[in-house]
Amino acid sequence: MPRSQTRHSLANQILDIVRNARLEAGHHLREQWLGDLLGVSRTPIRAALDLLAERGAVETRKNQGFFLVQSFDALQRLQVEVPSSAEQSLYKQLVRDRLAGKLPGSVTQSEIAKRYDVDRGVLMRALSRLAEDNLVARNKGHGWRFLPTLATDVALRNSYEFRLAIEPAGILLDSFRPNPAVIERCRLQHMVLLSNPDLGSVDSAQLFETDVAFHEALAEFSGNLFLLQAVQQQNRLRRLFEFWSYGNKRRVRDWCREHLAIIDALEAQDFTRAANAMREHLTNAYEERPQISANAKSGKGSANRKKTLRA
């Protein structure tokens, strides 16, 4: 995401945290704490806080940091407008076209520029953003290549079947030990997303990282290194597809609630309920998936058929 968009989007998410945590005027907004919650470094957090200072919501105190000027109830209606950008539009179009089979696995900059009629600046910013999100990489010679992904319905189905086999089972292992601090951080991250009235303003990268961090945290709690590595590998493969699917904001809200149901069960030490909730969550995620190309090379779309995974 272009720097200006990141700044505006993060500012809105910080406001959501303030409102959700019911913070009062004078509260110290620590950059590291906000960065941990939103999955970004302190630098973009500082830029977002500077923007909120311009809006009169926070103030900077020399050698101390940022502090709320207004309490959470006074900030209920404050919303920072997120500017649109040509590179963000190109970014989304490249992802959609790749998954629809309209783009090959490797493309040159000149081919992209000609196809989408964009200038070099927009093109390079979009490609840089795709590279930062681990969706593309530079070729050794010239051009760019899309990284491996779940590009067919068969591959996607196999992935969810595999995840259904291992993720709920990991919760039921004798070695499963949830970390309360990590669980609480995950809860607040999801509450922040749910409290956002405009999920369309939230960067897809942040949505993906919140989703991934939750699943990988539970895999790590299992105490089984091979299970964790398997979940991490699945997350790498589903990155491109999941970025595209986050356009369904209703589904994003649903999976946030499903994750919170799992968290509730974990905090109650009811691991059987948590495993069942994970199984239901993965089944719902597969059934709500958008259609993707059945043949990335030909660009022919798959038949519109809905299969239910066996839980």
**In whole angstroms, how large is the CA radius of gyration of the chain?**
21
Q: How far apart are CA 10 and CA 35, in angstroms?
A: 10
Give the helix/strand (H/E) hosting 212.
Answer: helix 204-221
Angle subtended by helix axes 249-267 and 271-287, to nearest 10: 170
Domains in the chain and their CATH numbers?
Answer: 3-75 (1.10.10.10), 86-146 (1.10.10.10), 153-293 (1.20.120.530)
Contact (CB, 8 A) for 7 and 48: yes
Q: pLDDT of the chain along its 311 residues, tens only?
A: 445 557 888 888 898 888 878 889 999 999 999 988 887 888 989 999 999 999 899 999 988 999 999 888 888 778 777 665 788 788 888 888 887 788 898 999 999 999 999 888 889 988 988 887 778 899 987 899 988 776 677 878 898 999 999 999 999 999 999 999 899 889 988 988 888 777 766 777 778 888 999 999 999 999 999 999 999 988 887 877 766 666 678 888 999 999 999 999 999 999 999 999 999 999 998 888 766 554 444 334 334 444 566 54
Retrieve residue 253's tokens: 């809200």
Residue 142 DSSP label = S
What pLDDT is attached to residue 192?
Answer: 83
What is the reported pLDDT for 250? 85
Q: Are 222 and 171 in contact (CB under 8 A)?
A: yes
Amino acid identity at 227: L
